[in-house]
Chain A
Amino acid sequence: MASESLTNRKPKGTGIVTRLKKLAFGMKGNDGLLYKLFIYGLLIGIGFVYLFPLLYMISYSLKSLDDILNPLVNWIPTQLYLDNYQSAYAVLKFLPTLLESLYVTAIPAIVQTAVCAVVGYGFARFAFPFKRTMFVLVLATFIIPPQVTVIPRYVFFNEIGILGSIQAFLFPALLGQGINSAIFILIFYQFFKMMPKALEEAAQLDGAGYLRIFLTLALPMAAPAIIISFLFSFVWYWNETYLAAIYFGNSLTTLPLELQKFVATYQQMYPQSGGEASEINEGINMAGTVMTILPMLVVYAITQRWFVEGVDRSGIAGE
């Protein structure tokens, strides 16, 4: 702003100093070169801090023991060392674990998305008694920490014999009580609210029933919400280790759960009888971590557009 008033005072300000000033500070206070430099510098700096743990992980996972011990080697390993990944692959039992993780993550995510769409539609398009109260209760379920309900659920699941199976995730999801279900119901609610009433009435005149309207009219229009909900529930189920550890016990496992007991498994596989090769080191640890997050990174690389635009369009920020 200072530069603006300055140029206003000297209308014939074509001198080199004024032009430099204009270049540096800009016309409107936020388009100058210095300002741009400042913004980009800040963003890149914060971005680096953000990615620092990831870069560190990748760098360390590629270091041999010599490189780790060598104080001269900082970021770039002297050689491309892949043995860490080999060990981590074996310790994590990567491929079977990956398939199991996908199984216990994707199926509940699909179910949760489908059910939340139905429930969200019900809240958005129909009037019924106690609707407001129930909607408040939906949102209230979000703030109840899972620790409060986990013990009764555990006892309950034990009684009906579904502990250690995917049903322990599936049943709550099927009835709209999965991980963060409240958020997904809210997302679908916002989406279906935006659907024009006239469209529904036209379909009704043509003789379509409620279910048919929902399936053929509403759902296709809510495609973005479906994608967002599926992706978010996929990620949240994947990263959920507290409930997974309690419900699944030893019969089902996921990559994060395997990472949790990484060191123990490693020591079991390679007993410390002798030789430095059996010693676990940071490199192997980091390779295991990289492999655990790798599937999510791949998913994110493909779908990041939906994640990012999802929050925009889902209307969470609209109210």
Chain B
Amino acid sequence: MKQLSMRSKNSLTGLLFISPWILGFLLFTAYPLFYSFYLSFQKVRITTEGIQTTFVKFDNFKDAFTVDALFTQKLLTFVQELVLSVPIIIVFSLIIAILLNQPIRFRNFFRMIFFLPVIIASGPVINELISQGVTSIPSIKDYAIFETMLSADSLFSSVLLYLMDNLIIILWFSGVQFLIFLAALQKIDTQVYEAAKIDGASNWECFWKVTLPSIFPMIVVNTVYTIVTFSIFSLNPVIEHIQTNMFQINTGFGYASALSWIYFLLIAVALGISVALLTVRGRKNYA
């Protein structure tokens, strides 16, 4: 009897500790989710008495893809940028982490530099930098080989152009990810490497057979983190579009809600696909 009361007391205290979160989740996440889902099927008008809604079925969603030419275009741009940027961010932060995991001097200094963008990269600052054209790698476009590649009007050249124009920003997104990789690398037991070396493994083989499998869970974590931060960054074209529609008279909250739900689903699908791809591949290789 005593035991039981101790346990229920314990669980009650636990619930008390997390009660702010439960309340907040209901009030600021669950309710808004349902409400915005509800709004996405409505035409919302703001009147002096408050908000008036009329049910319009799937019109908002239909409009998003048929009437609003900008939205689909921006969505496509976003998907393209996501597909291009996320692998670059992951691979790049991994490379930096591996480089810094060597016994080198000034490691702290380099860590400081590579984390710096996380501190200063807000939308308006990035915007200012993009408009000054300093987000591309300096003078890379002057090389003749790029000029010929860019003059061809194809998907490849537009991809290349996007990368060259935004490479620094893409790299700037890798601050947190690189630290996570670095922390994971430092947790790998050095004896594993020594054993592999004795068995005659080269550095290259060590990387694929020891390093990659042991930090594999972090690749998944970082991919999720990258996709999320990339999608909620305020300079993202889709987000700007949602924001402008929010306060427009002929579209309003209902339409903007529908847009944000489409966007949310897209992100969820992107997350699902990438995690599934990673884990399926991971199982095959490392299990």
* Interface of A toward B, CB cutoff 8 Å: 1, 28-30, 36, 39-40, 42-43, 46-47, 49-54, 56-57, 60, 115, 118-119, 121-123, 125-129, 131, 134, 137-138, 141-153, 155-156, 171-172, 174-177, 185, 210, 214, 235, 238-242, 246, 256-257, 259-260, 262, 282, 285-286, 288-289, 292-293, 296-297, 299-300, 304-305, 307-308, 311-312, 316-319
Contacts and interface: CB of A to CB of B under 8 A. Distances in A.
Chain B interface mostly: helix
Contact of A307 (B39, B115, B243): B115
Interface stretch (B54-62, B82-90, B104-112, B156-164): B104-112
Interface in B5-34: 7, 10-18, 20-25, 27-29, 31-33
A115 B121 CA distance: 26
Given A145-B267, A239-B120, 19 more contacts: A39-B99, A40-B104, A43-B110, A46-B114, A47-B113, A47-B114, A50-B168, A52-B138, A128-B14, A144-B264, A147-B239, A155-B35, A156-B32, A174-B20, A241-B123, A299-B119, A312-B179, A317-B187, A318-B187
Contacts of A142: 228
A125 B21 contact: no
Contacts of A138: 21
Given A143-B224, A296-B119, A308-B108, A172 B260 contact: no
Interface stretch (B66-74, B127-135, B147-155, B278-286): B127-135
A16 B13 CA distance: 74
B115 A122 contact: no
Contacts of A39: 99, 102, 104
Contacts of B116: 50-51, 54, 300
A43 B202 CA distance: 23
A171 B16 contact: no
12 contacts: A30-B102, A50-B172, A52-B138, A126-B15, A143-B271, A144-B29, A145-B267, A152-B39, A175-B20, A235-B118, A256-B124, A317-B181
Contacts of A299: 119
Contacts of B124: 241, 256-257, 259-260, 262, 292
A154 B13 CA distance: 33
A189 B11 CA distance: 16
A152 B260 contact: no
User: Chain A contact residues: over half helix, strand or loop, or mixed?
Assistant: helix
Contact of B28 (A56, A149, A241): A149
Given A148-B260, A304-B112, A317 B25 contact: no
Contact of A172 (B24, B113, B125, B132): B24
Contacts of B39: 151-152
Nearest to B104: A39
B20 A259 contact: no
B115 A297 contact: no
Given A29-B202, A172-B24, A286-B132, A242 B17 contact: no
Given A42-B99, A128-B14, A151-B246, A242 B239 contact: yes
B101 to A, nearest CB: 11
Given A153-B32, A260-B127, A311 B168 contact: no
Given A119-B17, A126-B17, A311 B121 contact: no
B256 interface: yes
Contacts of A156: 32
Given A57-B129, A149-B36, A246-B243, A1 B183 contact: no
B280 to A, nearest CB: 20
B96 interface: yes
B212 interface: no
A259 B228 contact: no
B261 interface: yes
B217 A175 contact: no
B132 A239 contact: no
A148 B32 contact: yes
Given A123-B18, A174-B20, A311 B134 contact: no
